[in-house]
Structure 1
Amino acid sequence: MDLSRISTIVFLSVKTGFAAIALNLPVALIAAYYLERKLKRESPFIEGIINLPLVMPPVTTGYLLLIVLGKKGIIGSFFYSVTGRSLAYSWTAALLASMIVSFPLIIRSIRTAMAMVDRRLELAAMTLGAGGFSLFMRITLPLILPGVINGLLLGFARSLGEFGATITFAGNIEGETRTIPLAVYSFLQIPGKEKEASLLVLISIAISFGSLFLSSHLSGRINHES
C-alpha cells in the first residue's frame, strides 16, 4: 500500500475543503445579511438560484461550470485569451466545484441563525450609536456564531464528499484534482486496490464525523457561554 499516495490525496481533499469554505464565508455572510435584513420580502428566484446546487445532480453542476468557465466557455474563453490558462481540469476547477456545492449549506445555516436573533438587541445597539459594519461585527456576528460554525463545518464535509461536479469540471487528475471520492472510485476500478479504497473510505468517515462532532461541541460551548 502506497501511504504517501494516500496522504497526498487526503491533503488535497482537506486543502480544497478548507479553501472552499474560507472563500465562501464572506460571500455567505454578506448574502445572508442582505436576504434577512435588507430584502423586504422573500424572493423565490433568488432562493432558487442559491439552493439549486442542493437539488441539482452534481454532474449537471459540473457540466454548467464547464460551459461557463471551460476553455471554450462564456467566461472561460476570455480568461484563457488573457492568461493562456484554462480554469477547467485544474485544482482551481476542483475548488470552484467545491465552493458551488457547499455554498447553499453555509448560507442556509447562517440565515437560520440570523433569523433567530432578537432584533431588539440590534435596535438597542443602534440607539446607542452602533450601525452598519460595527453593528454587525459587535452584535449580530457573535449572536450567529454557532450558525456560522455549523455552516462552515457542514460545508467542509460537503466539499470533502464532492464527486460529480468535480470529475466533470476538474477531471480526475492524480496529485491535482483527485480528491478522496475520486480516488476511491479510481481504486475500485483497479484489481487489488480494494485496501487503498477502504482506507480512504475510513479516513473520509473519520473526517466527516470529526467535523460534525466539532460543530456540535463548539456550538454547545458557545451557547453555554452566552
Structure 2
Amino acid sequence: MSEWVMFDTHRFVRDLVAAGMAEAIAETLAEKQVELLTSELATRVGLVQVEANLKAELATTNERIAQVEANLKAELATTNERIAQVEANLKAELATTNERIAQTNERIAQVEANLKVELATTNERVAQVEANLKAELATTNERIAQVEANLKAELATTNERIAQVDAGLRSEIAATRVEVAQVEANLRTELAATKSSLIKWTVTIMTAYTAAIAALVSALARSLAG
C-alpha cells in the first residue's frame, strides 16, 4: 500500500559537501533524513495493519450474518416441510373416511394453532436476531470510530514529532553556521597577524642586510683610501 523511495545517503552527503558544507554536518543531516523516512514508513505500516484488522472484523461479521441467514432459511424449510406433511396427512385421512372429518378438522385447528405459535416464536427469534445484529453493527461502528480517532491522534503526534525534529535540525544548522563563521573569522584574524609578523620580519632582515652592506662599503672605501 505504501510507497518507499530508497534514500542514497552517500550521494546526499557528497552533494552537500560539494555545495560547501562540512562533511560531518552533511553526514548528520543524512542520518536525520534516514530517521525521518524510517519513522514515516513505520507509520504507514501501522496504518496497513489497522486496515487489515478492520477488514478481518468486517469479514467475521459478514460470516455471522450469513450463518444466521442460513439458519433461518433452514428453519423455514423445516417448517414448510412440516406443513406439507400435515397437509398430506389431512388429505389422506379425508380420502380414507368421511366419518373422521370432525376429528380431522379438530386436528387441523390444533395444527394451525401450533403453526401460529411456531410462527410467532420464529418471528420473535427473527426480531431478536435483527436486534442482535443491529447491536453488533453499532458496536462495530463505535470501534471503527474509536480506531479512526486513535489513528488521527497518532498522526497528529507523528506530525508534531516531525515538526520538532525539523525545528531541532534547523537550530543545529544555524548553530553550526555560526560556529563556521566564527572559525572563519578567527582564521582571517590569524592570517592577518601572520602576514603582519612576516612583513615585520622581512623589514628587519632587509634593514640588517642594508646596514651590513653599508658597513662593508664603508670599510671597503677606507681600505681603498689608505
Which structure's relative contact order is higher, taking Cα pairs within 8 Å and 6+ residues apart? 1
* Structure possessing the higher radius of gyration over alpha carbons: 2
Q: TM-score, normalised by structure 1?
A: 0.30
Q: TM-score, normalised by structure 2?
A: 0.30
Task: Give 1 or 2: higher helix fraction.
Answer: 2
